[in-house]
Chains A and B, each alone.
Chain A
Amino acid sequence: MLTYYLSLAWQRAIKGPWITGLIVLTMAVGIAACMTALTVSRALSGEPLPGVSEHLYIASVDACADPTCSSSNRSKPSLLGLDDAREVVDKAPVRVAAAVAQAQVTLSTSDDQRGGVSERGLIAYGRPLALLGLPMRLGRGWTAAEEASAAPVMVIDVWLARQLFGQADVLGRTVTIGGHGFRVIGVSAPRTPRIQFLDVARNNDITGVAQHFYLPVTAALAAGIGPTDSGICAGGTSRKTFGSTMLAHCVWLNVWARVPDVSARDRYARWWRAFVIDHQHDGRYDNKTPGRLYRASRWTKLNNVVPPQVGMNTLIAFGLLALCMINVAGLLAARFLRRQGDIGVRRALGAPRQSIFAQHVIESLGLGLIAGLLGWPLTWLGLWIVRMQPVGYADRAHMHPATFAWLLGMAALVGVTVGIMPAWRMCLLSPALQIKRT
């Protein structure tokens, strides 16, 4: 039966090639617009670092009560001074925590001819590698004793090791930053988050930035290495510095903690609220904002890491699909109704309503699937247009094998949906009248 209905549909399709073309093209345009928007928004939603960031929480508070604090309009308040950050990392009821700030430094080796490479990495207190779930390829992270004694040690990732030394096995070798030598005690796997979530205040990037090195904060500050910028400082913008260690009046570190389950999170949240209230009573923290914890994915959303334009484009694409579907439903109804005489005959010869309905839905499903095939190159075109845009996520607009499955599924769904109403209309035709009219 299916093949018979399909052959009927095919005959009709080639009899009116223009209107068939219009129906298929309209559906294809709507489907392709949606697939393009969905591909982009899927690439930019979900967990920033799958498998890890689900359990990562940032401690948020406005830790600068001074009215002369320079404002940072991009991110929600989350920065702490070094002493507070240390206290939180040491005393909070969590197993793994770290205070981090991004730094941009020039790294070189003793036999470097090129004058070094400038890369981004983290200045950290606590256990940043355990926090980010980074597997160590070689060596280890720093110990509390090394941190306390400001031992000049560092961990770099494999990528940076190859950049600097041409190989990954670099344990015990020395990297020079700003004239100070740091001994490599660990080499970690390289990892780039899908979406930026660490230090959103110092990154305008939408897609994640790889952090290539990890420096213990005491050793870094002792060597004159500071964060990319000094965060928020009392005394206004003029107090702001870049890459310096003049941080006495500034809040500049984010505290992240790894929390395995809900009860641990609630414990930490209670502790953090109490900590903040204590400091608000001291007058050191701003009174207006309570201490809160945010999950990594929520944090990226709150800080608008992914521009709202992406969501709006998806909305427009779905609007376009709706328009196309209404359009196609009308065109299909017109197309079906032109053959109401044939249907009358079939009904008179005993065809039940169900098979009339099935016939027409199958026809529109077939047209939908053809539209899906045509939507494939159109989606490719749409993603190409997105890649041409001067936007930070352009490189994410790529087709994946899964996209094709999604596309066909969507095409089938659209095909059936637009066919339901016209097919229903055909079922309602009464046999006798149609024969009389012909």
Chain B
Amino acid sequence: MRQLVKPLARRPMLPLLVLLQVAVASAMACNIAFLLARQLTPLMTSDGIGDPSHLLLAYNIVARGKPFSYAETQAVEASLKAIPGARLVSTMPMLPMVSLTSANADVNRPGHTTKANAALYLGDHVMRTLRLRIVAGRDFLPEEHSLVGGGMGFHSAGPVIINRALARRLFPTGTAVGGHIVIDSKQVPQGRTVVGVVANLARNDLDQSDSGNDCAMFFPDLPRHWPVTGFAIRTEGHDSSLLKKVREHVEGVLAGRLFTRMGVAPYAQIRAQAQAPYRSAVWLLSGLSVVVLLISLAGIMGMTGYWVQQRTHTIGVRRALGARVAQIRREIQLENLLVVGAGLVLGVVAAEGLNLWLMQHYEVPRMPWTYLPVGAAVLLVLGQLAALAPAIRASRVPPVVATRAM
């Protein structure tokens, strides 16, 4: 150990620069990786929609003036059902992957303190139109569909179907089906009864789900009056004329009632659009991490290379005195390990500091500690790789160098 540290300490500038570089690189790499993972969550979370290529969404249907009545939306639904090729139609004020209108609320079990923020969907026969996969319990019964006034039915009793993420959060042990949940801590005696659990159902406010929150639920109810609505249409074929027909039917029934131009698109396209900002952020951040790592690699390589070259004579003497090729190589690698390791100690502190600073200024959550050892391991390997070429060059210094004059 002593003969390792001594030459480093005698000419400390280059080792110190390597150390500093490793510290900055690891602090940046950990935080960039953390930001990247957050952007990745909405892309990786399954939306739960079965057979997405046969689903159309009609969205951004905004009432001019008086909100749409239930009768109006039912008329649209009936008209859409009459389109040949449309198999199922659901009126859904909130649609998956459409963030124009979204609703969410804090949910807990009566008498329990564990709360979860869940996105809410409303609509009739949502399960069949979206083809959600049920993993426990049952779908809503036809007689369970009802109308709610003056809100979204947060505070009325009735059934609810929740996704597995919410079930795990609120019912960590035991089964969720048959349990009760209370929304917004309002005093409805038993709250809503969970009748079913679906495997997946994505939130429609994707910016919430990037913090790892993927809880969602849906009610069988529809509001009496609602200013913005949408329709999910399960289709038979891929006929592109369906899009035009859907628009004609909605605009026909709601003639003079629409405030802005409505949107109609295949679900897959809407999903791609909603995910596009996340996808591009992932590319950008991945590119940045690669640049950070490449720069560190080149820097460590260049500096170690010089460091070795500077000591060619010493190495020659040591070879002449009997040090083996492998020994010299191992020494250079070990030296690198020492310097990079010291840099990483500083880097861990810097990474935490940077995370704290980001938390204060940019609403970034706390970075899980697991990022630190993983980041450190990556940089240790990187350092060893960078030292490989100089180490091999050092080990090839012939002992005859020692005999050359100083």
List residues of A whose CB falls within 8 A of some B CB.
19, 22, 26, 29, 33, 104, 118, 226, 235-238, 240-246, 308-309, 311-312, 315-316, 319-320, 322-324, 326-327, 329-331, 333-335, 337-338, 385, 388-391, 421, 425, 436-437
The number of A-B residue pairs with CB atoms under 8 Å apart is 135
Q: What are the residues of chain A within 8 A of B21 when measuring CB–CB?
A: 323, 326-327, 330
B interface residues, how many (CB within 8 angstroms): 56
Do the beta carbons of B64 and A242 come within 8 Å of each other? yes
Q: What are the residues of chain B within 8 A of A26 when measuring CB–CB?
A: 295, 298-299
Q: A246-B66, A308-B362 are in contact. Are A237 and B151 (CB under 8 A)?
A: yes
Interface string of B23-63 (1 = CB under 8 A from A): 01101100010010000000000000000000000000011
Do the beta carbons of A238 and B302 come within 8 Å of each other? no
Interface of B is mostly: helix
B374 near A: Cβ within 8 Å? no
Q: A242-B227, A246-B65 are in contact. Are A389 and B280 (CB under 8 A)?
A: yes
Do the beta carbons of A327 and B65 come within 8 Å of each other? no
Of B260, B288, B296, the residue contacting A327 (CB under 8 A) is B296
Q: What are the residues of chain A within 8 A of B20 when measuring CB–CB?
A: 326
Q: What are the residues of chain A within 8 A of B306 when measuring CB–CB?
A: 334-335, 337-338
15 A-B residue pairings within 8 Å (CB atoms): A22-B298, A118-B260, A237-B152, A242-B63, A312-B35, A320-B28, A323-B24, A323-B28, A323-B292, A327-B296, A330-B17, A333-B13, A391-B277, A421-B13, A437-B406
Q: List B271-317 residues whose CB lies under 8 Å from chain A.
A: 276-277, 280-281, 284, 288, 291-292, 295-296, 298-299, 302-303, 305-307, 309-310
Do the beta carbons of B299 and A327 come within 8 Å of each other? yes
Question: Which chain B residue has the least Cβ–Cβ distance from A391?
Answer: B277
Do the beta carbons of B24 and A235 come within 8 Å of each other? no
Interface of A is mostly: helix
User: Once bound together, how far apart are the Cα atoms of A311 and B27, in whole Å?
Assistant: 18
User: Once bound together, how far apart are the Cα atoms of A26 and B302, in whole Å?
Assistant: 12
List residues of B whose CB falls within 8 A of some A CB.
13-14, 17-18, 20-21, 24-25, 27-28, 32, 35, 62-67, 149-152, 223-228, 259-260, 276-277, 280-281, 284, 288, 291-292, 295-296, 298-299, 302-303, 305-307, 309-310, 354, 358, 361-364, 406
Q: What are the residues of chain A within 8 A of B358 when measuring CB–CB?
A: 312, 315
Q: A330-B17, A437-B406 are in contact. Are A244 and B64 (CB under 8 A)?
A: yes
Question: Which chain B residue has the least Cβ–Cβ distance from A329?
Answer: B17
User: Once bound together, how far apart are the Cα atoms of A323 and B27, in whole Å?
Assistant: 11
A183 to B: closest C-beta gap in Å: 24
Q: A320-B28, A324-B295, A437-B406 are in contact. Are A242 and B65 (CB under 8 A)?
A: yes
B149 to A: closest C-beta gap in Å: 7
Q: What are the residues of chain A within 8 A of B291 when measuring CB–CB?
A: 29, 33, 320
